[in-house]
Structure 1
Amino acid sequence: MEITNPWPDGWRLAPLAAAMLLPLCDPPAEAQTRTQPASIDRAVAEFTGAAPGTPGGARAPADPRLQLAACAGPLAVSWHGNARNSVRVECPGPDVWRVFVAVDGADGSAASNRPAPPAIKRGDALTIQVRGRGFSVQQQGEAMESGAVGEWIFVRTARKAEALRARIERPGLAVIPAS
């Protein structure tokens, strides 16, 4: 790669300075086909309501060396286990992957061991809503597992229907985001 000299006559761009300008260029095509660690940080921060490194948020930002396949849809984020000290971040496809992010509690220690009360219990009748840009469609369904507001659970629309993952928005309502 050749770097042209944008400076007035007589000025030279030192090799170190030239190397520092490279990150300002577009990333190589290979990097554009990967999920950026910053998108994992944003998803976890949105889910927990706290930035990485702050109480209630991820203990540390995602490792910038992470090389995960590109995710076709939005990242699915949910609590991992009942302790609420880690968050599961999943890519639904086409190349499925999953990472777990450690979370600090509001007091700076590991998150509380008390699980949030379930907003929806297994077997509850609920409204399943598919939301997309400029539209929403809803249908009655059943919860296949219990969960609190903000958690992702499996739901189905009929007895023999395939299970779908939906995020609990409030008691009685689970939402499936459409991309």
Structure 2
Amino acid sequence: MIRPALLLAALLAGPAAAQDARFQSTALLDTAVSQFTGHAQGEEGGAVAPVDRRLKLAACALPQLEWRTSAQDAVVVRCMAPVWRIFVPVKAAPRAIAAPAAVAMPGRAAPAPKPEIVVKRGDPVMVEAGSNGFSITRDGIAMGDAAAGARLMVRVDPAKPPIQAIAMEAGRVTLPGWQ
């Protein structure tokens, strides 16, 4: 009586276990990202958050890792067969921005420095949105000039109206509310 029950339990557990083997382990991806960056998750230089456990990525025998940009703000984890790609945000060190020295004239307020334009009209830009554990990107074309932190319009699809974005740095913008 016990043997048929064990056999039935093994048969029922078999397909569930095989089904999980079809998907890439997000815990293994977290480990690979930590080894690639050389920093633990949550540390400066490490992943901001774990890879979202809800992702059902096809199992990959050899995931490839590389930096998204030279700023090393995200790790691209990709699989060539089957094809998939995710971005893992990296916790960056805070950068100090030095204020330009202003020359004060007696009786006059110092002129406000003109902000540096980081995105120019016609530039190809990467539109980003995301939060802890995921990010989404899309290519677009800037419809105007913008300094860092300023708003501009970006065309992502010729058949649709442009979207509003906020300039972050040269070639990189984000959607409002996703900074």
TM-score band w.r.t. shorter chain: 0.3 to 0.5
- TM-score, structure 1 length as denominator? 0.42
Select the structure of larger CA radius of gyration: 2
- TM-score, structure 2 length as denominator? 0.42
